Structure 1
Amino acid sequence: MEFQDYNPLEGKMYEVMNKDGKLTKKEDLPDLKKDELLYLYKTMLYTRVIDEKAISYQRQGRMLTYAPNTGQEATQVGSAYAMEKGDYLVPSFRELGAWLVRGVPLKNIYLYWYGNEWGSHMPEGVNVLPISIPIASQFSHAAGIGMANNIKGENNVAVAYVGDGGTSHGDFHEGLNFAAVFNAPVVFIIQNNQFAISVPRKKQTKSQTLAQKAIAYGMEGIQVDGNDIFAMYNVTKKAIDKARNGGGPTLIEAYTYRLGAHTTSDDPSKYRTDEEVEPWKEKDPLLRFEKYLREENLIDDKWVKETKEELEKDVVATFESIENKSDTEVEDIFKYHFETMPPQLEEQMNDYLEFLEGGK
């Protein structure tokens, strides 16, 4: 597979496996061992279980607003698995599968959505930036990391994610431009799930594809079937290898679909119909990969059932360990931001503590 063979201006989309789990490009099947394939499937299933439980907890009033990932697991897990240990993951807020692959503990993820900023405190050696809610800010951050890698002579690559709506924000274009001009080792991934909250992609841009936006900045761009884990792995790995070897940045459009709501504060029935969603359920990335693994006799009903039960127990235990712990200390909210708290922030903290104690 060569990027130039999938010119986004020609409307070509790269895939290896179709919605029925059948290989359409057998020659492009990645050289992954059985344990790797099972790990990828298990991580996608883990992502789905975490999502289902988180939505349930939020509906019960036990968790704050949550951003579901259902339908986008292959985009996230496949791309993150192509990264190497020293590479940097620069997420937005809907990259659950990528966080898991890159070593972010579920406890941290649930802490964040529970309202505790310490969830963004990554373990030593885990090169994952905290969630950045401002849309497309991730691309500027990733470009900066890539430029810093060049200056320091390091051989790491930054992989950044944004939604389709992010392509309409200034930071998206600034990040691409800086990365291209300075030949920064960055891979930019658009999770095109067809909606920016309630706004469909077709109302955001006249571009035929989002991948073609790369052309204006002098970099390669490619549109990929984001529900095909093999395609996502292949393209991201090729882009990462190119960046690591001095070939500069790449823009990947992962063509997928958000099966659920934008967040648990959103009601998608207000802006799309069930008839629109139904065909995408047949393209479910988890179901697609499962069909392939079953056909290869790598998994069966018993394995899937036992694996899901094991993952569910882990998720429940992790959340309960957070829920049963005391709430965040007020001081932590202020201390978290700086190694040494500046005087003005310390003053604000003391004023707030005095207020809580009944002071004026």
Structure 2
Amino acid sequence: MTNPNNAGSGTIHQARFVDPRGPAIATLRLLRDDGRLYADARDPGLDRDTALAMHRSMVFIRLLDERMLAAQRQGRISFYLQSLGEEAEAVASAAALDPADMIMAQYREQGALHYRGFTLEQFMNQLFSNERDLGKGRQMPVHYGSKALNFMTISSPLATQIPQAAGYAYAQRLAGEAALTLCYFGEGAASEGDFHAGLNMAAVLRAPVIFFCRNNGYAISTPASEQFLGDGIASRAAGYGISAIRVDGADALAVYEATRLARARIMDQPQPILIEAISYRLGAHSSSDDPSGYRSREEEEHWRRRDPLARFRLWLQHQGWLDDAEDNRETDRLRQQILAALKQAEPLPKPPLESLISDVYASPPVRLEQQLAALREQVLRYPEHYVATAGRLKK
């Protein structure tokens, strides 16, 4: 006889409470700090070309972050978010996916987008919101999106992408697609109601989705210890009937292997899986944040010694796949290319005013046409306050 409550059928005859202080979920780690595999670790079989592409994306994002944070400080862009210390999570997980898989990101996964083929020019055009920006200047900096690369445009509100990922993945299943959805979010976003709704929906509908939580220890300035008492985020999966794995987010090989295995399980039998990557945000939450107000230099230095890029570089050298001299030359080339692309993108005109209401509806409704006309009149009346736009409008 089936249980209408869909809960455990075992019975007891003396009161017994479940103890939440059970054993903690273990963390998968394959690489030691010296870049060598642990003796009992299984080599994930990462091929040379994929490994070097991962390394290039991690280096590129670190250099881009460095340059564009400086550009924000100079007043050249309005806002920026670094992924310093978390590059392995995004890049290695993206490398384990199929290009047809949809990615729904939060806002610190630019490495996944670069690995998929987003160009340096596309990054710069979005950051400067110029006329070549795929988003037509409608989004804040670092809110990337690419239909061609199956990378859903990023939204500012936390956790909106989690139920969206459940729904999109369910649609993939209904359509019979050999693809899944990977949804990134931080442990702070897991405190939002959308997290619980999204996971429950995905579990009940057996949606082919990987929920990838970047547990970097802080939701802006709030430490994890003040966010929840349970064993991280992975422990929540069981309550929804979802499989989970915890992985060292600073270990590119471990992240790749966990994501690869999760994808294989989902392709074999549609289901959601939760991956919790334990890492640390070495930079500020954003260009609007000062982490010195809520954490110590000693804490930061402790995690800096576990730099994911340095560890992965050591592994590549042990494999004989990376030469120090060539790596340094390539890093210098990338740094120069990023600076050149910045100088090219910055002076380009902003998108035309009309693009504000294009590509939203097949035909813009009357109310939007009226609002656009009112905005155009405002710009022409006070051109000194709309320098970037006024020069492109005709009276």
TM class by smaller structure: over 0.9
**SS of alignment partner, residue 222 of structure 1:** strand
Question: In structure 1, what is the Cα distance between the partners aligned to 2:305 and 2:146?
Answer: 37
- 1:5 is matched with which residue? none
Question: In structure 2, what is the Cα distance between the partners aligned to 1:112 and 1:92?
Answer: 16
User: Which of 184, 207, 231 is residue 207 of structure 2 equivalent to?
Assistant: 184
Question: In structure 2, what is the Cα distance between the partners aligned to 1:101 and 1:305?
Answer: 20
Cα deviation, residue 172, structure 1? 0.7
Cα deviation, residue 41, structure 1? 1.0
1:58-69 pair list within 5 angstroms: 58-69=72-83
Deviations 1:109-146, CA, capped at 9 Å, x for gaps: 33333345337785563111001111111111110111
User: Which of 84, 103, 113 is residue 98 of structure 2 equivalent to?
Assistant: 84
- 2:128 is matched with which residue? 114
**SS of alignment partner, residue 118 of structure 1:** coil
**SS of alignment partner, residue 357 of structure 1:** helix
Moved more, 149-158 or 79-88: 149-158
Cα deviation, residue 27, structure 1? 4.6
Q: Letter of the 1:109 partner, please give it.
A: F
**SS of alignment partner, residue 224 of structure 1:** strand
User: Which of 331, 346, 352 is residue 354 of structure 2 equivalent to?
Assistant: 331
**SS of alignment partner, residue 32 of structure 1:** coil
- 2:47 is matched with which residue? 33
Aligned positions, number:
352
**SS of alignment partner, residue 136 of structure 2:** helix
**SS of alignment partner, residue 77 of structure 2:** coil
Q: Letter of the 2:88 partner, please give it.
A: A
User: Which of 369, 384, 387 is residue 346 of structure 1 equivalent to?
Assistant: 369
1:1-360 pair list within 5 angstroms: 9-24=23-38, 27-115=41-129, 117-118=135-136, 125-358=148-381
Q: Letter of the 2:55 partner, please give it.
A: Y
Question: In structure 1, what is the Cα distance between the partners aligned to 2:169 and 2:365?
Answer: 30
The change in CA–CA distance for 1:307 and 1:178 in structure 2 (over 3 A counts) is: same
CA RMSD of aligned residues (A): 1.8
Question: In structure 1, what is the Cα distance between the partners aligned to 2:121 and 2:196?
Answer: 34
Q: Letter of the 2:82 partner, please give it.
A: P
Q: What are structure 1's unaligned runs of at least 5 residues?
A: 1-7
Q: What are structure 2's unaligned runs of at least 5 residues?
A: 1-21, 138-142, 383-395
Moved more, 340-349 or 156-165: 340-349
Using the aligned pairs only, state the percent identity: 35
- 1:3 is matched with which residue? none
Moved more, 339-348 or 126-135: 339-348
Q: TM-score, with normalisation over the residues of structure 1?
A: 0.93
**SS of alignment partner, residue 188 of structure 2:** helix
**SS of alignment partner, residue 190 of structure 1:** strand
The change in CA–CA distance for 1:261 and 1:314 in structure 2 (over 3 A counts) is: same
Q: Is the 8 A contact 2:208 2:271 kept in 1?
A: yes
Q: Is the 8 A contact 1:118 1:336 kept in 2?
A: no
Cα deviation, residue 36, structure 1? 2.0
Q: Is the 8 A contact 1:226 1:255 kept in 2?
A: yes
**SS of alignment partner, residue 179 of structure 2:** coil
**SS of alignment partner, residue 53 of structure 1:** helix
Question: In structure 1, what is the Cα distance between the partners aligned to 2:250 and 2:159?
Answer: 22
Question: In structure 1, what is the Cα distance between the partners aligned to 2:78 and 2:316?
Answer: 36
Question: In structure 2, what is the Cα distance between the partners aligned to 1:122 and 1:164?
Answer: 22
Q: Letter of the 1:351 partner, please give it.
A: A
Cα deviation, residue 240, structure 1? 1.2
Q: TM-score, with normalisation over the residues of structure 2?
A: 0.85
Q: Is the 8 A contact 1:331 1:349 kept in 2?
A: yes
Q: Letter of the 2:165 partner, please give it.
A: A
The change in CA–CA distance for 1:121 and 1:256 in structure 2 (over 3 A counts) is: closer
Deviations 1:59-100, CA, capped at 9 Å, x for gaps: 111112101101001111110001102100001111011111
Structure with max Cα Rg: 2
- 2:389 is matched with which residue? none
**SS of alignment partner, residue 100 of structure 1:** helix
Q: Is the 8 A contact 2:30 2:253 kept in 1?
A: yes
The change in CA–CA distance for 1:272 and 1:199 in structure 2 (over 3 A counts) is: same
